Structure 1
Amino acid sequence: MTDDLLGRHRSVLPDWLALYYEEPIEITHGEGRHVWDSDGNRYLDFFGGILTTMTAHALPEVTKAVSEQAGRILHSSTLYLNRPMVELAERVAQLSGIPDARVFFTTSGTEANDTALLLATTYRRSNTVLAMRNSYHGRSFGAVGITGNRGWSPTSLSPLQTLYVHGGVRTRGPYAALDDYDFVAACVDDLKDLLGHTRPPAALIAEPIQGVGGFTSPPDGLYAAFREVLHERGILWIADEVQTGWGRTGEHFWGWQAHGRSGPPDIVTFAKGIGNGMSIGGVIARSEIMNCLDAHSISTFGGTQITMAAGLANLTYLLEHDLQGNARRVGGMLIERLRAAAAQVPAVREVRGRGLMIGIELTKPGTDEADPAAVSAVLEEARAGGLLIGKGGGHDTSALRIAPPLTLNVAEAEEGAAILERALRSIQ
């Protein structure tokens, strides 16, 4: 059955629609932190559909909310009042930290980031955007134009003029040898120099932790230091929280809060985990920014009742069960366990991350050269051992990505770490 499905996939879907594993699997159902494939194999899920099944598979509270809403109405569009959308917007606005916040719902992180770009460029009357090297912001024409990761940039054409800034990757690049204080100072000096050579940009868009880039991040406080420079010039700060939001980093509810001494961003984008698998994205912005458009603009399926019901139930569960605290506690234990295991594997260059957002960078031993073959080999070996993980990274595919549902318990974390340790040792 799986082989037939693979053939059908290849005959009707694009060649660039990648599949994991030499023998791709069909996931048929899940429960908690586990999923099953069509051959009956059970896996511990440490990737959650690319950080999207944030809470748990088949979470009863979300399943019930979706079922009950489906029995009433699925969709009516934004042309009519929508109680679940208003209720979720109220909660998201309150949690954002942005004063007088307005919320616009979309269907994905890509659409959310495109909306943020539309708002920022309209508000500032500029199509120049600052973005981070090694970044990823989505697959639309506009989002590709600000993505600083060669592996996810299929075209150099763009409606935007994009200027790329240093700082998203702490351990590579011209400032890697500096300590954190000097690293931040050098990146700020570079930003100031760049701004002296160009017309004023609309905004800086940045992921607090770069997702597709391999879970890399700058020292805490870098974006706060950038914000001070930007604010003096009226340039907006957009925090792309598609992967870092909702407490995944453990220490903070939003990733930007690690850089928050200058206050919240002007615009925050979100998606993935808030729907726990349902298609929700969105933008939060100060009212004068959100309301700057002078023409009609909607998202047909953004804010539809069934996804909003799921989001409300999921967010309520997350807050009532302190999943941010669980990410901090269990994630802290997991990352230390993985660092101890990786210390015995010469191919591991770095274990990084925070909370339940962990990257393991692999290189050819004794060098800084990425080793995509080793990454793929570990991915395969982990799957054979009953563990699903992801991969990514700049400088070619160089990192394993670990992001389990936020309900992960200590026993499951230890089980996954043991499987991953065996997989890492297998490449020596």
Structure 2
Amino acid sequence: MKLLIRSIRNVLRSPLRLVLVVALLGTSLMFVAAMTSLSTSAQQELATVHKQVGTAITINYASNDSVNSTSRNEGSQGGVTIAGPTNITLIPNSTVQKVKSTRGVVSTQESLTRPYTDGKLKTGSITGPNGKQISIPVLVNGISSDASHFTLQGGVTPTLVSGRSFHDNDANAYVAMMSQSLAKSNHLKVGSTFTLKGKTFTIIGLYTTSDQFSGSSIVVPLATMQKIFGVKGVDSITAYAANYEQVETVATRLRNALGKQYDVVTQDAQYNNVFSALGATQNTIQLALIISVSIAVIVIIFAVLMLVRERTVEIGILKAIGASHLQVLRQFWTEIVTLSASAAALAALLLATLGSTISQRFDISPPSSPGASSGPVTIGGPGGQIFQAPSNPNLSNIHLAAATLNAQTLLIILGLGIGLALLTSVIPTWFVSHIKPAEVLRKAN
């Protein structure tokens, strides 16, 4: 106890220097903990985005993409863009088989979308830019009965909440899944029936979606839809690789197999701006982390050097009156630990109060790009209407978790503080072992 009190008094010999050293060291320790926490958060967000991107590869006719791009710029009426007459080329079934047989493709989803024109189902509405209520047309989506993935327009993945999905024996059956909101508006449930193109369909499942557009939809087996709508082929194909790392390799094989008449697009390309933003944020965080650690090391080494050098005479006297190396070193080690502990306490206090503010400075803003939004959704196929769908909700939620004082950051502060104390304890050890009492006393005289 006497040793601790004496060490504290020695540390307090120069209050101004003590304040400066503790402030600089504490701030550095706080930044190290905050940057480590933010770096971990950035890596987790990057992994999350990779999972969102998934392994999907979308295949469309290049001419269709060109037509859609042109039609989106043709006039507007009451907040709804009316597309001019267009000729959408269907992807033939032979191409579907070629995609399925491409090495690396583990599954496919063929999609076909047409408007519901029977006029018997009630649908919801949205408010246009001019304040008028606009009815959301019902979309009929055809998917393969054996598809392992189930997505709607805009890449929205529905969640089945009642009933079941399609089975293999439903390929040519008159069965359907319907959005829960559309079913509720029409007082329908699992087991109810409705008519489509003169055929009676039985609802076998209900699902929910994340936006209003896909929330006004019906899903039927692809073969059944092709039969009742009188079409041969599909609008688009989505192929899936085994894992994220194989996506670009499989996409290259598909481009070589299908030729330039098809656009083969990976979701990775659509999310490039997000990856770039996360990468830039990680680089900034790592740079701040390196600078913080460097400042902490420099400050503690400088402080201990000053502490030892100005007490050379005291060390010589202690050794002259019979104090052992260990006795002298224990005093300096206690002082170093006291200094580090004070800085760690300040770092914890600063992180608890300023952690959220610092995190906001390093947070990312999801970029506005085609990949960050589901984009306009075509309603009604050729010559139909185009609504602007909301931005991808997953991308809009990409933010780094705030660096706060928790078990992890507290351990980082304490661990680095102890590490710096152990590192700088070498300095007094070296000084004490090399100081000769006779030389010190002679110089002092």
TM-score by length of 1: 0.23
Greater C-alpha Rg: 2
TM-score by length of 2: 0.22
Greater helix percent: which structure? Answer: 2
Q: Which has the higher contact order (CA 8 A, sep 6+)?
A: 2
